[in-house]
Amino acid sequence: MKKLLVIGCGGVASVAIQKCCQNSETFQELCIASRTKSKCDALAKKLEGKTKTRITTAQVDADSVPELVERIRRVRPDAVLNVALPYQDLTIMDACLECGVDYIDTANYEPEDTGDPAWRAVYEKRIREKGFSAYFDYSWQWAYHKRFEEAGLTALLGTGFDPGVTSVFVSYAKKHCFDRIDTVDILDCNGGDHGHPFATNFNPEINLREVSAPGSYWEDGRWIEVPAMSIRREYDFPKVGRKDMYLLHHEEIEALAKHYPEIRRIRFFMTFGQSYLTHMKCLENVGMLSTEPVEFQGHRIVPIQFLKALLPDPASLGPRTVGKTNIGCVIKGEKNGRQKTIYIYNVCDHQACYRELGSQAVSYTTGVPAMIGAALVLSGVWKKPGVFTTDEFDPDPYMDMLNQWGLPWVVDEDPAAVE
Ligand code: NDP
């Protein structure tokens, strides 16, 4: 009997949980625990009578290690899937260590309070030493490696689409398509239209922090940082069409650069429409993207958190979003002495996701790999002691499960290159 404790019950969690319930052979029991228990209860009710997986629900504040420990001890899961926010990564890892259970997440740690002096000192040192200034990086979670290793536990980090599937695409390419990989361009295209003037497709606070930060990429053994949205390319995405895309910093670059030192350059591009960029610039210019608290009528508020309260809930975009996503990796390298380029990608249709699970494709493309990562850890296929990203395991079972569980992939042997 395998039991998973899922922490968080937002857009991504809803997909991950519904997919776990389609895969009852692996997930015989599931406990959904989150800050707002009524959301867990509503999802459990939606699944009633539709799955063999036994579901329970609970309330938990994942910022509190003692609360988490108490919850994990009561539920007694084999693993914890963290689909709350990156702010809770370290508290949940601490609790997993204390309780002796495996840990899985979809996004690497970043602090909620970027003004915290202790965190800031480490952050500023990292900017000086490494050369990228994103709030998130792997160092905090990689620092847990020894403790997980000594406890005989597995922590699988970043099993969403990007990061997650994109990193598996690279390890698959290395295993099956190349003797040597020279460059990787990770492309994230959302060709969907939700009809709102401005909305984000996953948690607005995390999303806007990410896309408004300076861009950076890895080249010849070092980071190169550039102003936000300053590098633009156009790409003709299969099944979506021509889109403008912009270079961003992204977490899988850091893991791939560490684990595949042969790769000379790794970049990440995301598509944005002009209206999105204009709204974002305006919000940034008036201070609404700030993470620093301000005094307002006797209350301390964080502007970006207030903005989140005003923007549409990403989980509500499902019924109104039409179009497709296309996410993948353009990989260049050498095989048998010959240069070659491939594009490995998945196309996902927003309305098809909505019909299946009531979610839009961004939650779907993240939630399915979260279930796959959890299934591989639970079943022992991806189990080794320590802290790992998805590029550090055999890619084949993961790639098979993508085909099986709703995210089929394609290898184009003659793709357009990215300039
Ligand atoms: P949502 O905001 O929709 O959901 C977050 C959930 O976490 C909510 O249910 C929220 O509770 C809960 N939560 C927040 N704080 C706490 C807390 N202290 N204790 C317990 N529960 C808490 O986010 P998304 O579903 O959009 O994103 C989930 C994760 O997925 C994020 O980490 C995001 O970065 C990651 N992600 C990864 C991607 C990838 O491809 N790798 C792509 C997209 C997202 P409440 O309902 O009370 O607010």
Which pLDDT score is estimated for 206?
Answer: 87
Query: Angle 203-97-74 (CA atoms, 0-180°, nearest 5)?
Result: 80
Write down the pLDDT at residue 376: 98
107 within ligand 1 shell (Cβ under 6 A) = yes
pTM > 0.85:
yes
Alpha carbon of 365 to ligand 1 centroid (Å): 14
CA angle 386, 389, 394 (to 5 degrees): 90
Q: At what angle do helices 37-47 and 11-22 cross, to 10 degrees?
A: 30
Q: Confirm or reject: Cβ of 164 under 6 Å from ligand 1.
A: yes
CA-nearest of 360, 368, 361, 366 to 406 is: 368
For residue 389, CA distances in Å to 54, 100, 252, 266, 407 come to 29, 20, 9, 16, 20
Predicted confidence at residue 96, as pLDDT, reads: 98
**Spacing, Cα 265 to ligand 1 middle (Å):** 31
Probe residue for ligand 1, chosen from 85, 169, 210 as the CB with the greatest number of ligand atoms within 8 Å: 85
- pLDDT for the residue 291: 87
Q: Supply the pLDDT for residue 115.
A: 87
DSSP-assigned letter for residue 414: S
User: Residue 419: what pLDDT?
Assistant: 87
Cα-to-centroid distance, 158 and ligand 1 (Å): 13
Find out whether the beta carbon of 171 lies less than 6 Å from any atom of ligand 1. no
Q: Is 163 in the pocket of ligand 1 (CB under 6 A)?
A: yes
Q: Take residue 398 and report the two structure tokens written for it.
A: 């993961």
The whole-number mean pLDDT for each consecutive block of 10 residues of the chain, a chain of 419 residues, reads: 95 97 98 98 97 98 98 98 97 98 97 92 95 94 98 98 98 98 98 93 87 95 96 97 96 98 98 92 93 93 93 90 97 98 98 96 97 98 98 98 98 94
**Residue 204 confidence (pLDDT):** 87
- The per-residue pLDDT for 351 is 97
Inter-residue contact 255 to 163 (CB < 8 Å)? yes
Ligand 1 contact, 12 CB (< 6 A): yes
Neighbours of 52 (CB within 10 A): 11
367 lines ligand 1 (CB under 6 A): no
